[in-house]
Amino acid sequence: MPNYVIAPPPVAAVPVQGSDSLFPVRRIFCVGRNYAEHAIEMGSDPTREPPFYFTKPADALVVGGADTPYPTKTKDLHHEMELVVAIGVGGSNIPVAEALKHVWGYCAGLDMTRRDLQGEAKKTGRPWDMGKAFDHSAPMGAIMPAGGFDPSKGRIELKVNGVVRQSSDLSKLIWSVPEVIANLSELVELAPGDLIMTGTPENVAAVVRGDLLEGHVEGVGTVVTRIV
C-alpha cells in the first residue's frame, strides 16, 4: 500500500444489472452532435463532420436512481438522453470491425448540460468544461453486459414527469458505436473502465427542481433520476 499523503479518492462505479457487482469507471468520454436532428436544433450542419469529443470526470456519475442536485451558476439545465458504452478491453487504433469486442456492456445515461454556460463558451471560444463536466452531470442506469446486443438499432426515449420529451432510434446515430470506438481509439488509448456517451437525439430542453427524468434504451435498460 503506497503511503498516500491524503486518503485516495473512492473508485467511481456503475452497478451491473442483475447482480451486486460494480463496473469501475476510469474516464467518461462524450460524443458531440451525433444525431442529425439534434445538430440542426443546436444550429449546426448535420453533414458527417468527423466526431468530436469532450469529457466528464468519473465522479460526475449519479447512479442507483439517486437524485440529481440542480447545479449552481445556471438558469438553463438541459437533459440529453444517451446510449452509454462501457469499455472492457482497451486498445489503440481499434478497427471498426473489431470494435464491439472491446465493449463490456451498455447503459442508459443522461449528459446533463448547463446550456447557458456551454453557449457562452461556444461564443467566446472557451472550453465547455463548466457547461458539461460539473458535479452530478452524469446520471446513469445499471450496466447491461453486452451479450449479443446489437447497438445499431433500438428506441431511445426520455420522459420528463411521465411525458415523452426525446424519442429517436439508435439507427439515427451519425457515427455508429463501432465507428466511435474506432475513431476515439485513434485519439487516445482506450482503457478498461472508460465510458463513452454516444450523443443525444433532438428535443433537448430545460428541467427544473422536482422534475422526474426516466430514460429508456430498448434492449439496454433505464436511467431514472429526480432533479432536486
State the residues that interact with Mn ion by CB under 5 A: 80, 111, 200
- Residue closer to Mn ion (CB basis): 118 or 200: 200
Strand order in the sheet with 155-160: 163-169, 155-160, 212-217, 221-226
Instruction: Output the smallest distance, CB 66 to Mn ion, in A.
Output: 20
Q: Can you tell me the distance from the alpha carbon of 48 to that of 228, in angstroms, rounded to the nearest whole number?
A: 37
Indicate the residue whose CB is closest to Mn ion. Answer: 111
Instruction: Output the smallest distance, CB 42 to Mn ion, in A.
Output: 10
Instruction: Output the smallest distance, CB 105 to Mn ion, in A.
Output: 19
Instruction: Output the smallest distance, CB 78 to Mn ion, in A.
Output: 9
- Residue closer to Mn ion (CB basis): 87 or 112: 112
Instruction: Output the smallest distance, CB 145 to Mn ion, in A.
Output: 24
Q: CA–CA distance from 126 to each of 90, 121, 129, 130, 194 (Å)?
A: 31, 5, 9, 10, 25
- Residue closer to Mn ion (CB basis): 16 or 108: 108
Q: State whether residue 59 is helix, strand or coil.
A: helix
Q: What is the enclosing helix (H) or strand (E) of 105?
A: strand 103-110
Asked if residues 22 and 14 have their Cβ atoms less than 8 Å apart, the reply is yes
- Residue closer to Mn ion (CB basis): 91 or 201: 201
Which amino acid, residue 202?
Answer: E
Asked if residues 159 and 214 have their Cβ atoms less than 8 Å apart, the reply is yes
Q: Which residues, 6+ apart, have CB-to-CB distance to 129 below 8 Å?
A: 54
- Residue closer to Mn ion (CB basis): 102 or 132: 132
- Residue closer to Mn ion (CB basis): 22 or 206: 206
| β-pair type (77-79, 113-114) | antiparallel
Instruction: Output the smallest distance, CB 175 to Mn ion, in A.
Output: 13
Instruction: Output the smallest distance, CB 148 to Mn ion, in A.
Output: 27
Q: DSSP characters for 22-54? A: EEE---EEEEES-BHHHHHHTT---S-PPPEEE
- Residue closer to Mn ion (CB basis): 84 or 142: 84
